[in-house]
Structures are given as structure tokens and as C-alpha cells.
Amino acid sequence: MTDPSGEIERLRNRVQQLEQELDDMTVALAQAWDQLAPLLQDTSQQQATTVTDLTPVLETVMAAIGVDYGAIYLKEMDECFIIPNDPLVGETLKQQLQTIPYTTEPIIIDQIRILQRYSSHWVFMPMLADGTLQGVIGVGVNSNQHRFNSYDMRVLARMTERATSQITAANLAQSRHREARLSHELQIAHQIQLSIQPLHFPTLTQITLAANWQPAQTVGGDAWGWIQQTNGNLTCFLLDVSGKGLPAALAAVSLHTALVMALTLDLNPVETLTIVNDQFYDAYTNAGIFATAVVIAIDPYTGMVEQANAGHPPTLACMDGAWYRWEATAPPIGVLPDLGVECQTYRLLPGDTFVCYSDGFSEIETPDGLWGDAGIVSVLSQALTHPPSMIQAVLQAAESLQQGRSPHDDQTIVIVHYAG
């Protein structure tokens, strides 16, 4: 008859021996993994833009730990990828991962029930880049006998770091690519906008015209132009599309083209603004924008002026030594289906001057409030016969008021002097 207590003692020693062997194997495996991991880090280190790009990482971690499932969930894209591909498990898992609170610690989910049939057991490692949670990588087993040990955690942590670095590299590359493309497109848009602003001014003995166009950003919603119509009139215009950036620039270019076309057909200022309003009303309504515009036709021989002003800041006219404001008679283009703009007629005498500008000047903020048209007039009292000098005076004053800061809005100014 065997001694029961001796047999128990022998078995206990055997268990301790086996546990010691298991610990030694775990340490050895961990050390082997430490040597393997850098190699894995160096090989096939590609940028990952989708969860499927991370498949090699997931397969490696599954093989290393020996599990039934592997899964990656990317938070921003709300994408979940699971190996083996099982839409039902994937969807159930995704619903869990969308709602659980994330920390920097591993997340253990003891039961994810699939159709009430079986449950799986999971451990997830958060993917943190610069303190921001990118998602999680996890492994799962069907057996509830499996317990994830320190070795499993170490493998999972290492591979999660690797996956995170791949995602970070991809995000950075994508961001740089987007920035470069956007910058390139903006430069093209700037060149297109620049090309529609007149490079030369009219060379008439009776009229001197000068102008300056300055977008607040690379592109802007302002534009100006002039044309000598076949009836002999010199006609200039200035437009300002609401908003900023590329959408405003695109609208400004198309409106500029439409105005030039209408004026080329010898339409008068009222006809011109009316026809472009008819043409652009629906498009502007859909886009939620509008454009102010002023068109002024001058007969060089008689000094007769016709203005049509749709919501644009008043033209400032110095006539016979006194300043007048030729205000808008209609709201901007794209606001009402029937523009209803009126023709304003004036007669310039030799020595008279008028100034058209965009609100980027009049809305410059000063310690005493907005600069306004009074502010513009205050710097124009000198050299009233020389538009280029007047332009410089306004630009210098504006720059001084802005104290070196970039303007908040596009700034365009057109000055016309009538010598008769």
C-alpha cells in the first residue's frame, strides 16, 4: 500500500518543477521575441492607411500567441478588420469597441457573444500616437480556458507599437501630400486670378487710370478690369465675392469673365449687371454666396459717366473740389432674382477724380472704429491728379493702420482721373 501523503508530496514537487520549467520557457520565449521584434520592425515597414495594410502585423501576433482571432479597429475611420474574416464576429466586435472607454492599459473583454451560440475572449492593446488613440489591436480565443499571460501581452504590445508607427508614418505622409497638392493648386489658382487682373492701364489722353489688387490670402474674391468699348466709352469695374479662399476665387474669376463678355458686347453698366445677375442668381443661391459689383462707363470726350452699383461700397468722387458718394442702388448680385439696379449719371469736369474700392479697405479696424470711406478720402487730398500716387497713399495708410498684420480681407482699389 502506498503512502498517500508521500504520493501527494511527490506530485506537488512535480507540479512545482513543471511550473518552474514553464516560467523558464516563458522567459526564454520572451527573450527570443525581444531579439525577433527588432527584425520584424525593420522588415516590411510600410505605411498603413487602412486596416488591411496592417494584416501582416496581425497575422504575426496571432501566430506568436496562438489564438483563434485577431482584430484591428481604427477609431477615426471606424473600421474593423478581423482574421479570419467573419462579418458577424467583426460587426459584434466593432459595436463593443465603439463604446468601451479607452485607457493606455490593455483592455480585456471576457465575453463577446455571437448569436447566443458561443462567446470569445479578447485582449486589446490601445494604439496611441502622440497621446491620441488611433485604435486597438486585439487577439481573441473561443475557449474560456485560455488565459492571456505576460508573454502574450508583451508580444501584443510590441506589435501594437509597430502598427502605430506605421499608421503615424502614413498619416504624416498623407498630410504632407495633401498640403503639397493644396499649395500647388492654390498657386495655380493665384496665377489664374492674377492673369485676369489687367496688367496694363488704358492710354487715353483724357483719362488716367490706376489700380491695385491684393488678395488677403493666396487667392481672393476681389477682381477688377477695364475695357474700351466700341462706342468709345472707357468702362471699368470692380467686384467682390462674399467669403474667402478658393470658392470665392472661383466665383470671382467666372464673374469677371461674364462682366468682360457683357461689356465686350457693348452693354451698358445696368444691362451688364442685370444680365450677370440673371446668369448667376441660381448658382449663387446654391453656393450660398453673393457678389458686390460696380461698373462705371466714362465717355472720354464728354466726361459723362454712367454707374451701376450692386451692393458695392460707394464710389468716392471728387468733383470740382468736393467729395461725393455714388452709393449702390441695388443689393449684390445673387441676392434677388430681379436685380433692379439703376443707372446713375454724372458729368465729370476736367480735374475730377473718382475712386472705387473693396470693403477690405473701408473695414480696416482703427482705434476709432472702422476706417471707412472718410478714412480713405482723408489720405487722398494730396496729388489728386495722379492716380498712381493716390493708390500708393492709400496702400501706405492701410499698411500703417494694419501695423504689419496681414489684411483680413482682399483689398482692391481703382482710381480714375479725368483730364478732359
Partner 1 sequence: MNITEQDLILKVNIITLTGRLDVTSAPRLRDHAQAKLGAGYTHFILDLSQLEFLDSAGLAALVNLLKNARTQGGDVRLVMPQAEAASRTIYLTKFDRVFSLYEDVEQAKRY
Binder to partner 1 among 336, 384, 395, 401 (CB under 8 A)? Answer: 336
* Under rule CB under 8 A, residue 243 binds partner 1: yes
DSSP code for 340: -
The reply on whether position 254 binds partner 1 by CB under 8 A is: no
Which of 101, 369 has the CB closer to partner 1?
369
Per the CB < 8 A criterion, the answer to whether 414 and 315 are in contact is no
Smaller CB distance to partner 1: residue 186 or 336? 336
Q: Which is nearer to partner 1, 92 or 272 (CB)?
A: 272
Interface with partner 1 (CB under 8 A), residue from 340, 349, 366, 385:
340
- Applying CB under 8 A, does 335 fall inside the site for partner 1? yes
268 binds partner 1 (CB under 8 A): no
Residue 290 as a binder of partner 1 (CB under 8 A): the answer is: yes
Among 152, 306, 352, 409, binds partner 1 (CB under 8 A): 409
Q: Is 215 in the site for partner 1 (CB under 8 A)?
A: no
The answer to whether residues 373 and 316 touch, using CB atoms and an 8 Å cutoff, is: yes
> Looking at this protein, which amino acid is placed at residue 379?
V
How many residues at the interface with partner 1, by CB under 8 A?
28
| SS3 state at 349 | coil
Ramachandran angles phi, psi of 419, nearest 5°: -95, -15
Q: How many CB atoms lie within 10 A of CB 2?
A: 7
359 binds partner 1 (CB under 8 A): yes
Q: Which of 6, 84, 87, 369 binds partner 1 (CB under 8 A)?
A: 369
Q: Hey, what's the cell of 129?
A: 500616437
Q: Which is nearer to partner 1, 271 or 363 (CB)?
A: 363
The least distance separating partner 1 from the CB of residue 243, rounded to whole angstroms, comes to 6
Of residues 244, 258, 323, 351, which one binds partner 1 by CB under 8 A?
244
Residue 401 is a binding residue for partner 1 (CB under 8 A): no
Query: What is the C-alpha to C-alpha distance for residues 265 and 260, in angstroms, rounded to an integer?
Result: 9
Closest approach of Cβ 415 to partner 1, in Å? 20
Cβ-Cβ contacts under 8 Å for 186 (sequence gap 6 or more)? 218, 219, 246
Which among 92-100, 134-142, 239-247, 397-405 is the span making contact with partner 1, rule CB under 8 A? 239-247
| 375 grid coordinates | 478714412
Q: Which residues of 19-47 are buried (b: 16+ CB within 10 A; e: fewer)?
A: eeeeeeeeeeeeeebeeebeebeeeeeee
352: which DSSP letter?
A: -
Smallest gap from residue 278 Cβ to partner 1 (A) = 16
Q: Answer left, alpha or beta for residue 301, where phi above 0 means left and psi between -120 and 50 means alpha.
A: alpha
Q: Does 363 bind partner 1 (CB under 8 A)?
A: yes
Binding to partner 1 by residue 292, rule CB under 8 A? yes
Q: Is 332 in the site for partner 1 (CB under 8 A)?
A: yes
Which range, of 146-154, 180-188, 330-338, 393-401, touches partner 1 by CB under 8 A? 330-338
Q: How far is the CB of 402 from partner 1 (least distance, A)?
A: 16
Reduced to 3 states (helix: H, G, I; strand: E, B; else coil), residue 27 is helix
β 322-326/107-114 pair status? unpaired
**Counting contacts by CB under 8 A, is residue 367 touching partner 1?**
no
Rounded (5°) CA angle 49-156-143:
115
Considering the rule CB under 8 A, would residue 64 count as an interface residue with partner 1?
no
For partner 1, the closer of residues 166 and 358 by Cβ is: 358
266 touches partner 1 by CB under 8 A? no
Element (H, E) at 128: strand 118-129
What's the first-to-final CA gap in the chain, in angstroms? 136
Q: Where are the alpha helices (DSSP H) in 113-265?
A: 150-196, 245-264
By CB under 8 A, name the binding residues for partner 1.
240, 242-244, 285, 288-290, 292, 310-314, 327-332, 335-336, 340, 359, 363, 369-370, 409
